[in-house]
Copies of this chain bind each other. A is one copy, B any other.
Amino acid sequence: MALGKDYAAQQCSIARALEVVGERWTLLVVRDAFYGVRRYNDFLAHLGIPRAVLASRLQALTEAGVLARRRYQDSPPRDEYVLTDSGKALWPTVRSLGLWGREHIEGTLPKRLFLHAACGTELGAYGQCPACGIGVPPEDVEMRPGPGLDPAPEDPVSRALLAPRRLLQPLDADRV
C-alpha cells in the first residue's frame, strides 16, 4: 500500500497499522462498515468519495484482511464487503478517534452516541462501559442519533442510519 514505502524504516506496530488504515479515507470506510454499510453503492452514497478512490480502498482493505468480499447477487454479479474479526478489532481505534474529535475539536457536536446495549450507558474514552466496567465489543454497541445529526439527510444511507441500531447490523439502504 502507498504508505508502506515511506514508513519502511518504522517497524513499530503503530506504523504497521498505519500502513493498512492510515491512507486517506480508509478509516471512514471502516467506520461505515461498523455502521452496517456493506455495498459499494452504499459506501459511495454515504461517503461522497470518488469512485476510483473507494474501489482502491475496498480492495486494499480486503487484501489486508480487514474486510472480506462476499457475493450477494449473481446476475449481475455484486459483492458486499464485511468486517473480518481483524477489522472488528479496529473498533477501539474508531471509537477513540471519534470521542477525541468530539471533545477536542471546537464546534463538534456528536452526530451519534454509542451505548452499551445491555445497560444503556454511553461508552467511555477507552470504549469501555463505565457502569459495567468492561470493554464493549462492537456487536454489543447501540448507536443512537446525537444532537449534531442532520434529521433530514439527502442520501438514503444516512436516512437509514437515523434510527437507533446495533453496530454491524447489515444495512440495506435499497429498501428504505
Contacts and interface: CB of A to CB of B under 8 A. Distances in A.
Interface of A: 3, 6-7, 9-22, 24-25, 27-28, 31, 47-48, 64-65, 86, 89-90, 92-94, 96-105, 108, 110-112, 124-128, 133, 135, 148
B14 A27 contact: yes
Given A22-B27, A98-B12, A125 B17 contact: no
A19 B27 CA distance: 12
Contact of A101 (B16, B92, B110, B133): B16
A13 B108 contact: yes
Given A125-B92, A133-B133, A101 B13 contact: yes
7 contacts: A13-B102, A14-B31, A14-B97, A92-B127, A93-B97, A126-B127, A133-B133
B15 A105 contact: no
Contact of A18 (B17, B28, B108): B28
